[in-house]
Chain A
Amino acid sequence: RKEVEQDPGPFNVPEGATVAFNCTYSNSASQSFFWYRQDCRKEPKLLMSVYSSGNEDGRFTAQLNRASQYISLLIRDSKLSDSATYLCVVNSWNDKIIFGKGTRLHILP
């Protein structure tokens, strides 16, 4: 099993819809989790951290399920500007940052 796995997509979603994607990780000792967003030809940028209790930032909700070893990102009322690649990131016990390969999201007008 790969350390961090994501569905590569693309997810083609109409504007205004809700979309969710998951990311699984293999190392149960992983300690910190993040979602990054990467626009075309740009570097990845931190979107939000993922806390054990789940957290929300506007239209974005991130959740962690330690028992099943996955994190999720939910986007409500999607906007055209949400089109990007979303990278799942896991920070292991030795501070090695491990990236998923990303999920491509296309919001359709």
Chain B
Amino acid sequence: DVKVTQSSRYLVKRTGEKVFLECVQDMDHENMFWYRQDPGLGLRLIYFSYDVKMKEKGDIPEGYSVSREKKERFSLILESASTNQTSMYLCASSSDTGGQGGYFGPGTRLTVT
């Protein structure tokens, strides 16, 4: 069964903390994505990666960075968390064929206080 896992379902951090969100997929997918989802704003793409050590900015990369050292793992980093980064974070992966859409992890609900 296809699986995308995220390190935490719920996370509470303080303003200014460095936050790591981990995503792992077991489908040998080339492409991985990080989104945030907020009420009324839908899913917004933060960063994506086509391959190991490659990354591309999405629509809202400010305040975030990513790391992809291994094909199966894509990390989202909040260098200095702020309250406006309180959100639901969703990781997704897809294959290069593009014919299967993408598979999502269960999401991490991050609260920054």
Q: Is the pairing of A and B real?
A: yes
Chain A residues within CB distance 8 Å of chain B: 31-32, 34, 36, 42-46, 49, 87, 89, 91, 94-102
Q: Looking at B48, B56, B101, which has the most chain A CB atoms within 10 Å of its CB?
A: B101
Q: A43-B107, A44-B104, A99-B35 are in contact. Are A49 and B99 (CB under 8 A)?
A: yes
The interface on chain B, measured as residues whose beta carbon lies within 8 A of the other chain's beta carbons, has a size of: 25
A46's partner among B43, B90, B101, B107 (CB-CB below 8 A) is B101
User: CB-CB contacts of B31-51 with A at 8 A, as 1s and 0s?
Assistant: 101010000011101001010
Chain B residues within CB distance 8 Å of chain A: 30-31, 33, 35, 41-43, 45, 48, 50, 56, 90, 92, 94, 96, 98-107
Q: How far is the CB of B90 from chain A (nearest CB, A)?
A: 6
11 further interface pairs, Cβ-Cβ under 8 Å (given A43-B105, A44-B104, A87-B43) = A36-B101, A43-B106, A44-B43, A87-B42, A89-B101, A94-B50, A95-B30, A95-B31, A97-B48, A97-B94, A99-B35
**A-side contacts of B48, CB under 8 Å:** 96-97
A101 and B43: CB pair below 8 A? yes
**A-side contacts of B98, CB under 8 Å:** 31-32, 91, 95
A97 and B42: CB pair below 8 A? no
Q: How far is the CB of A27 from chain B (nearest CB, A)?
A: 14
A95's partner among B96, B103, B106, B107 (CB-CB below 8 A) is B96
